[in-house]
Amino acid sequence: MAATETVSGLPARYRVIFLAALAVFICYMDRVVISVAIIPMAEDFGWSAEEQGRVLSAFFIGYLLTQIAGGWLAERYGGKVVLGAGVVFWSFFTLLTPVAAAGGLTALLVARILMGVGEGVTFPSVYAMFGRWVPLQERSRSVGMLFSAIPLGSMFALLATPWIVLRFGWEFAFYSFGAVGFVWWLVWHLTTTKDPSEDPRITKEELALIRGDLEEDAPESMPPTMKQLLSKPAVWAVVVSHFCANWGTYVLLAWMPTYINRGLGVDFASVGVFTMIPALFSFLALNFGGWLADKLIRSGMDTTRVRKLMQTVGFGGSAAVLAVVGYVESVPLAIALMSLGNVFGGAMSGGFGVNHLDIAPRGAGIIMGLSNTAGTIPGIIGVYVSGLILAATDSWALVFQTAAGVLTFGLLFYLVFASSKKLFD
């Protein structure tokens, strides 16, 4: 039996990482289901395009509200209980969606906001867990695996929802997806602990590996205050990067199907297939980017240098692709370029994406709460601004170039201010 294995043969930290990634998979699966189900829902309830827009955007109101609070709670009371409570909370409101919709538009909007409240604690609480469970030399690949669950969960929902709707009705899509979260919670509750030292199945060798860059006997400290966080340029580097990264992410999530359908002239029935190709490359690249960053650190390269190198590849490569893809008229070439952009973007998992854990291994949850709050804003203004650009110019090139400009600014800011030096704990 290897030194870091449990009696079952699998290191305990791997179980935590896998279940955390599975929670993100469920999070995005539940988030994306309404993007497909809203088509038959609008027909049944007679919603206008404006009303559909309100339904789709209501989620982000709740999602914004609990990022920072979720991080603080996770650092104070443990990521296990906060993530578990979040999954149960949002799964309940996923299940409740058909009932709320039958009760009227206002009831549905409230349900969507409350679902966002539950999902808002996901990443802050996972980072709080990773800060305690994942050793330094494995953090990048763990974050890569975590982020790669986003496109995987989205792809699953895009494929499964139409099949469920056509055979059982749109209501069953919410019932079946919502039920999955309760099954996940049961496994999570029975098999994980807040801290590795509390796990009865962990070996002394694995605990020593996890504790390698932490003070083993250090007392639990209070999470850093907002004033302390905002006084550190390295924290701002992460926050600004998260905003800039999500500008591109949310613009593509919202507008890529329309771009493929109307901009490239792809038949509506084939849009889903073409949309999933870049998403698949994103899944692979995020995992590879995390693995590569950890490998570079193990080889002796300075951690700050690794973070900035990966960020340059991630932001710089993605920006270069976005700057030119809007001029392409060939469908295969456009999809190939989008996929290439996602390959470059995967490097971000070894850049800003894991930098929270460098700055504060035991305070990463609250820093993620702060950065993901900033990262949620583009879901509102970035998508809206892109619509204004299309309405005024009918130029997809300008939409993508705007996203490229935001990424370029984020890269420059990160290169100037980012650091892997531990600032808290």
* CATH of residue 409: 1.20.1250.20
**360-391 pLDDT tens trace:** 888 888 999 999 999 989 877 887 788 788 88
Residue 350 DSSP code: G
What's the confidence (pLDDT) of residue 4? 53
Same domain, 274 and 405: yes
- Cβ neighbors of 343 (< 8 A, separation 6 or more) are 281, 284, 285, 317
Q: Is 424 helix (H, G, I), strand (E, B) or coil?
A: coil
1 domain residue, yes or no:
no
Same domain, 82 and 229: no
How is residue 316 written in tokens?
Answer: 């710089």
218 domain residue, yes or no:
no
Number of domains, the chain: 2
What's the confidence (pLDDT) of residue 281? 94
Q: Cα separations (Å) of 99 from 26, 113, 120? A: 21, 15, 23
The residue assigned the tokens 């894991």 is 354
The last residue of one of the domains, among 168, 183, 211, is 211
CA nearest to 151, candidates 303, 330, 25: 25
**Which stretches within 169-270 are classed as H helix?**
170-191, 204-210, 226-230, 233-258
Report how far Cα 68 is from the mean position of its chain's Cα atoms. 15
32 domain residue, yes or no:
yes
Residue 422 DSSP code: -
Q: Are 379 and 322 in contact (CB under 8 A)?
A: no
Sign of CA dihedral 357, 360, 361, 363: negative
Q: Are 302 and 345 in contact (CB under 8 A)?
A: no
What's the confidence (pLDDT) of residue 219? 52
The last residue of one of the domains, among 211, 242, 258, is 211
How is residue 125 written in tokens?
Answer: 């609480």
- Cβ neighbors of 373 (< 8 A, separation 6 or more) are 64, 67, 68
What's the confidence (pLDDT) of residue 221? 60
Cα–Cα–Cα angle for 221, 208, 301, rounded to 5 degrees: 90
At residue 3, φ and ψ (nearest 5 deg) are -65, -30
Same domain, 255 and 188: no
Range of the domain at 89: 10-211
The set of long-range contacts for 45-51, using a CB threshold of 8 Å and a minimum separation of 24, is 45/101, 45/105, 47/105, 51/105
Q: Cα separations (Å) of 269 from 100, 158, 275? A: 30, 12, 11
3 domain residue, yes or no:
no
Cα–Cα–Cα angle for 367, 369, 371, rounded to 5 degrees: 70
Instruction: Give me the count of residues in the chain.
Output: 425
| Distance in angstroms (rounded) separating the CA atoms of residues 34 and 205 | 45
What's the confidence (pLDDT) of residue 423? 87
Same domain, 114 and 250: no
Report how far Cα 259 is from the mean position of its chain's Cα atoms. 23
Same domain, 72 and 34: yes
Q: Are 141 and 353 in contact (CB under 8 A)?
A: no
Same domain, 195 and 99: yes
Same domain, 270 and 228: yes
248 domain residue, yes or no:
yes
The last residue of one of the domains, among 150, 179, 211, is 211
Same domain, 81 and 130: yes
Same domain, 286 and 241: yes
| Helix, strand, coil tally for the chain in percent (to 5) | 80, 0, 20
173 domain residue, yes or no:
yes
Ranges under pLDDT 70 in the chain: 1-9, 49, 213-223, 254, 268-269, 271-272, 425
Same domain, 52 and 147: yes
Same domain, 178 and 236: no
Sign of CA dihedral 260, 265, 271, 277: negative
The residue assigned the tokens 């879901």 is 379
298 domain residue, yes or no:
yes
What's the confidence (pLDDT) of residue 133? 94
219 domain residue, yes or no:
no
Same domain, 180 and 229: no
Q: Are 402 and 326 in contact (CB under 8 A)?
A: no
Provide the 10 A C-beta neighbour count for residue 222: 9
